[in-house]
Amino acid sequence: DVKVTQSSRYLVKRTGEKVFLECVQDMDHENMFWYRQDPGLGLRLIYFSYDVKMKEKGDIPEGYSVSREKKERFSLILESASTNQTSMYLCASQTGPSTDTQYFGPGTRLTVL
């Protein structure tokens, strides 16, 4: 079974803090994604990566950056957290060009005070 894990289920941070959200997949998948999910706004793509050290902006990259130093790990960074970044963050991985199925991690509920 594909397993995608995220570093925390719940996280509380203060405005201005630097926040790291980590995602690890154990199936040697090439593609990895970071989404945020908010009521009424659905699932929105923040960043994605097709390979190590490669990244592409999604639909809402402002205020976020990412890092992919190893194939299995994709990190989302909030350089200076703001209250409007309070959300559920979901990581997903995907085999690569042969399939479009995405496997999601359990999510991190981030609250910025």
- Chain residues binding other proteins by CB under 8 A are 31, 33, 35, 40-45, 48, 50, 58, 90, 94, 96-107
Nearest-approach distance from CB 15 to other proteins, in angstroms = 26
In terms of CB distance, is 14 or 110 closer to other proteins?
110
In terms of CB distance, is 19 or 90 closer to other proteins?
90
The residue assigned the tokens 């997949």 is 25
Nearest-approach distance from CB 39 to other proteins, in angstroms = 9
In terms of CB distance, is 16 or 35 closer to other proteins?
35
Nearest-approach distance from CB 108 to other proteins, in angstroms = 10
Residue 109, sorted as left (phi over 0), alpha (psi -120 to 50) or beta, turns out to be: beta
Three-class DSSP category at 90: strand
First-to-last alpha carbon distance for the chain, in angstroms, is 37
**Backbone dihedral angles phi then psi of residue 49, each to the nearest 5 degrees:** -140, 130
